[in-house]
Amino acid sequence: MMPQLPETEPEPTKLASKPASRGRVIWRRLEHTPRFWIGATVLALFVLWALFGQFLTPWSPTDQDVNNMNYPPTILHWFGTDILGHDLYAQIVSGLQKSLIIGFIAGPAATIIAAVLGATAGYLGGWGDKVIAWLIDLMLVLPAFFILVLLYPFTHGSWVVMMIFLAVTGWMIMAQVIRNQTRSLREREFVKGARYMGFGTWSVVRRHIIPNVASLLIIDATLGIAAMILAETSLSFFGFGVQPPDVSLGTLLANGQSAATTRPWLFLFPAGTLIVLLLAISLVGDALRDAIDPTSGVNRA
């Protein structure tokens, strides 16, 4: 009899690995992007500072220390005091709070307006597209900064109204981009299928168009935060934004510019806060852009 060979177990069938989702791919790219972590860490520290920084000092933004007016940084006043004895640290924290609120609300709000109008125009075509395109072109021609200056009397000095105006005047460029992207997406099979199945315009835009341009919207919303903070600071610097007794980084810069050489702490601390904040947001936005669309530029990570 022939010796019986031991039975060999059949090799298990190797299952094909499940392809990673787009979100996971983007996150993997971000994990290996140092500037993302630097920007996100600094931005998180600024948010924590704005939330809890006021508890680190006994002074409020409106308190006056008449015995220490125009004093440089000391243990009592970490960032010094101004000509009226206000604690500069407390005022910067208060101004940072307003800047972050305006940036984190007005920036994404402008992106939402751009997404809705741009996607609707690109999907509708015809007269609907022409009307919205005309509105976009009109808003692009008009200088947004001077429009905000002209509308300032109607804000009644309210920074909340100014925040709304910033959102309403900051959506046009992205709307044009979304409109062009949508005009190519509406010829895709899944959009045509949804249309033939009887879905309405807004349903198609919300379910099929906007999710496919979400990458662009995320980048725009992130960079829009920095743009809105800079816009608010510029308006407040020239006296068309936040008004006393409220303070913002723009008003602090305006008050400290004349003393930049004689009492430099009045200008350097607000300016340094603004520059580092905008740089951190820009690093996060730049890293997101390269992670979402690696062909947008040379990946420096």
Higher pLDDT, 125 or 167: 167
Backbone angles phi, psi at 64, to 5 degrees: -120, 125
CA distance linking residue 288 with residue 222, whole number of Å: 9
At residue 96, the pLDDT reads 93
Matching residue, tokens 């040379």: 298
- Of the candidates 290, 281, 292, the residue with the CA atom closest to the CA atom of residue 39: 281
Which tens digit of pLDDT belongs to each residue from 61-120?
Answer: 888 888 888 888 888 888 988 888 889 999 999 999 999 999 999 999 999 999 999 888
Higher pLDDT, 103 or 24: 103
Q: pTM of this prediction?
A: 0.81
CA distance linking residue 126 with residue 140, whole number of Å: 21
Backbone angles phi, psi at 87, to 5 degrees: -75, 120
Output DSSP code: residue 275: H
CA distance linking residue 220 with residue 107, whole number of Å: 8
Residues 220, 221, 222, CA angle at the centre, nearest 5°?
90
- Mean pLDDT of the chain, nearest integer: 82
Q: Can you read off the two tokens belonging to residue 17?
A: 């690995």
Stretch 180-188: mean pLDDT: 83
Domains in the chain and their CATH numbers? 79-295 (1.10.3720.10)
At residue 71, the pLDDT reads 83
Query: Sign of torsion, CA 202 203 207 212?
Result: negative
Q: How confident is the model at residue 52 (pLDDT cuts 50, 70, 90)?
A: very high
Matching residue, tokens 């059949």: 10
- Rounded to the nearest angstrom, the gap between the alpha carbon of residue 11 and the centroid of all alpha carbons in its chain is 53
At residue 106, the pLDDT reads 93
- Of the candidates 57, 77, 51, 54, the residue with the CA atom closest to the CA atom of residue 66: 77
Q: How confident is the model at residue 296 (pLDDT cuts 50, 70, 90)?
A: low
Containing H/E element for 144? helix 144-155
Burial group, residue 17, by CB count within 10 angstroms (0-12, 13-18, 19+): exposed
CB distance 254 to 236 below 8 Å:
yes
